[in-house]
Amino acid sequence: MRDRRYWSGFGERLGGAPPAFQPTVPGGIWLHAVSVGEVISAVELLRQLREQFPSQRLYVSVTTVAGRQIAELRLKATCDGIFYAPVDLCWVVRRVLRRIRPQLVVVMETEIWPNLYREAKRFGCGLVVINGRISDKAFPRYLRLRGFFRAVLRWPDAILAQNRIAMERYLALGAPAARVRNTGNLKYDFRAAGLEPPAMVRLLAAKLQPSAVWIAASTMPPAAAGDPDEDDVVIEAFQSVAAANERLLLILVPRRPERFADAAEKMERAGVRFLRRSELTEESSLRLPGVLLVDSMGELSSLFPLADVVFMGGTFPRRGGHNILEPAFFAKPVIIGPHMENFPDIAEEFRAQGGVYAADSPAQLAEAANHLLADLALRTRIGEKARQLTEGRRGATARAVAAVRESYSEAVPRKVHPFAAIALLGPLSLLWRAGTAWDRRRKLAQSGSLRAPVISVGGIAAGGTGKTPFTQHITKWMREEGFNPAILTRGYKRGSPERSTVLAAGAVCPVARTGDEAQILLRAGIASLGIGADRLATGRELERKLRPGVIVLDDGFQHWRVRRDADIVMLDALDPFGGGALAPLGRLREPLSSLGRASAFVVARASIPTPWRGLEKRLKEYQPDAPVFYSRVAPVEWVAVDGTERSPAGKPPSSPAAVFCGLGNPAAFHGTLHDLRIEPVFSWAFGDHHHYRVRELQRLAHQAQAAGARILLTTEKDLMNLPADAAAHVKPLRIYWLRMRLEMEREEEFFEWLREICSRSEDIGYLHR
């Protein structure tokens, strides 16, 4: 309440989105790092997560203002969004979960928020606690509430404790033993390579040529009555040490920004010469001995290479200490006080192995610094031992990433609908269910067969799951294998009154007669096409005219009038069960029990490590005999709508770009752009199969130019719905569409399964050319 800086992000703390957030797609990872220490520990973790999950959104939440500042400095290049963590109220946590739609929530260190934990699991997210610890101060209080914590700690899939003591404390609070592991401390995986001091600090050090550099890192105020103020302790010790080291430079780094001004005032009163880091210029100088007061955030780690000796703050007052591993990685001798309760295993090992210099009281700080500065061999021995100890404990981050992958694979996110939506739309979903059942019975009674084997490619949910590119992919294989494929499709939103339209492969036909998706299949030139709402009649017309060997029923899972030999059901990896409810509350066309009709499942947009064990387990509940395969679309190139220019997918012709599309699942296109590191300045989402008018394109171009865009980006499906002279109506902008190709895991196994179905025919001469 007293610090006005906390009010600036109050909307985010109530679940609001930061203004800079782009439209989110499901399937991301939300990592919560409360403050500075957790953020620094997360640097290497996020780097490895980005390598393992290159296509997924990574979000970081923080609690403190200082944590937000450090996150902006150290994590912004790695993650996709930084925001203040929500207060732990159910409705607030739900706002965030609905907004960023994560598949996994990762909580760093000591944060135990019961509503966050519970709501994450209600939404079907994975939940992992990483680098977990419970402090000496908190543990006795938590132990008195063991019954409460036992209920809360059953939610995480894994609790990765940073040491044996932390693991035992989680177990004592009632966490399930099978889920708690001692995986080591992430701080051991700090990456020292490549860090160097800021240019102005290097320039000052080169100009001053000090005989020694002493860094007092993360100094803290008293925590309780009788505690010393470490800034006072350091200033007094500096004055004593400087008497024997006339060219000594002290770099004083208070832990908290609100203490910068206090530290400066104390040095002025003590008559100590100093410079403020924020005021350094190329002309800055300082008469030694003197002090550089680092009144900035995020630079401490980069200063350690300059040091001859380091004092780690938070160890004289009862604060529990701070991380000594960063200076240890640079082989710097570290002085610590008696309070290292936050890092008991590290402190115990470093003390026992001679990797740290212990000062039992503030009065001993000057003596310790003098001793180390006077004895190069001692400094070298302690610093090298510290480096060896840290190097020998690496690997916690890799173990954490493995646990993240496991939890991500097991998670099956689901949509938790607000009560108002359930009350309003739930009865309509019941009507939908009854209407679908009646429609299925009626059409099954009128169903019939075609002579050729029929393979349906469909889905259980409304919206795009990549059925068209998948249909194109398998018919291309059929043609190459000597089958004579045809595609039977409805031709949704086509303008032709024809009952049935039959076209040979590669025929030229206007979009108005075929529809957009059918036009993509026709232009591919790999299969003949039958278009009509009555697909049984159209299929028979197709067989009469072109005699296909195998027929692919496009979007046919709910087309019950045509009997089929196999049903391939496509699921969107990021929302496999269509919001978990029938339309209009969710996106399901049929109840999930209908998955029992599936012959095989293809999980589309599976752009992360597979298999997804959680999803496969759910699918086995409905159809244990159907194999599960995975597919994804890979961008190939950008093509100008007038065909005059092409460029690789990873290098759009120009930037910045604006985006428009009319898809059943526009988030998928945004996800592809994210993978390509394209952040549009503006985006428009039209209805599925939208036909663009000239006035709309002109308005798009005007708004795109106002937003600073130089090009417009869209999809191949939208290309089919653009006017023939679209390029002329958006000048000086140009429109480019993205060509994609489909990739499958275990493709050979899938095609062997498909070959068996394609070969089911009594008339082999009719089946093959």
Structure confidence by residue, pLDDT tens digits, 619-665: 999 999 999 999 988 899 999 998 888 998 877 777 899 999 998 77
240, pLDDT greater than 90:
yes
Which pLDDT does position 768 carry in this prediction? Answer: 36
Rounded to whole angstroms, the Cα distance separating 232 from 373 reads: 21
765, pLDDT greater than 60:
no
**Residue 735: left if φ>0, alpha if ψ -120 to 50, beta else—which one?**
beta
CA separation, residue 356 to residues 236, 351, 431 (Å): 22, 6, 72
Question: Nearest Cα to 406, choosing from 608, 266, 172?
Answer: 608
Which pLDDT does position 392 carry in this prediction? Answer: 85
530, pLDDT greater than 50:
yes
Which pLDDT does position 318 carry in this prediction? Answer: 93
Contact predicate 635/738, CB 8 Å? yes
Question: Nearest Cα to 711, choosing from 691, 738, 693, 687?
Answer: 738
406, pLDDT greater than 50:
yes
Q: Check residues 706 and 26 and name the one with the higher pLDDT.
A: 706
Which pLDDT does position 21 carry in this prediction? Answer: 65
Predicted model pTM: 0.82
Whether residue 732 is preceded by a cis peptide bond, meaning omega within 30 degrees of 0, is: yes
Tens digits of per-residue pLDDT, 357-387?
A: 999 999 999 999 999 999 999 999 999 999 9
Which pLDDT does position 679 carry in this prediction? Answer: 85
Which pLDDT does position 102 carry in this prediction? Answer: 92
CA separation, residue 149 to residues 97, 112, 113 (Å): 23, 9, 10
Rounded to whole angstroms, the Cα distance separating 253 from 313 reads: 9
| Phi and psi at residue 53, to the nearest 5° | -125, 65
496, pLDDT greater than 90:
no
Tens digits of per-residue pLDDT, 20-66?
A: 666 567 788 999 998 888 998 899 999 999 999 988 889 999 999 88
CA separation, residue 346 to residues 226, 328, 343 (Å): 26, 11, 5
Q: Please report, as a single letter, which amino acid is at residue 613.
A: R
> Which residues on adjacent β-strands are paired with residue 740?
635
112 falls in which pLDDT band (50, 70, 90)?
A: very high
Which pLDDT does position 20 carry in this prediction? Answer: 60
314, pLDDT greater than 80:
yes
Q: What angle do CA 760, 764, 768 make, to 5 degrees?
A: 100
1, pLDDT greater than 80:
no
CA separation, residue 31 to residues 24, 71, 89, 189, 409 (Å): 15, 12, 18, 18, 17
766, pLDDT greater than 50:
no
Q: Where are the extended beta strands (E) located within 469-595?
A: 485-489, 501-503, 528-531, 550-554, 566-572
**Mean pLDDT in residue range 196-201:** 92
Which pLDDT does position 54 carry in this prediction? Answer: 85
Active site amino acids: 38
Q: 19 Cβ partners below 8 Å, 6+ apart?
A: none
Which pLDDT does position 92 carry in this prediction? Answer: 95
Which pLDDT does position 767 carry in this prediction? Answer: 39
689 falls in which pLDDT band (50, 70, 90)?
A: confident
Which pLDDT does position 247 carry in this prediction? Answer: 94
Contact predicate 202/196, CB 8 Å? yes
Which pLDDT does position 610 carry in this prediction? Answer: 65
464 falls in which pLDDT band (50, 70, 90)?
A: confident
* Strands lying side by side in the sheet with 290-293: 274-276, 290-293, 248-254, 212-219, 309-312, 334-336, 357-358
CA separation, residue 229 to residues 234, 275, 300, 316, 721 (Å): 9, 21, 20, 8, 70
- Quote the percentage of the chain above a pLDDT of 70: 97
Q: Check residues 492 and 431 and name the one with the higher pLDDT.
A: 431
Contact predicate 670/55, CB 8 Å? no
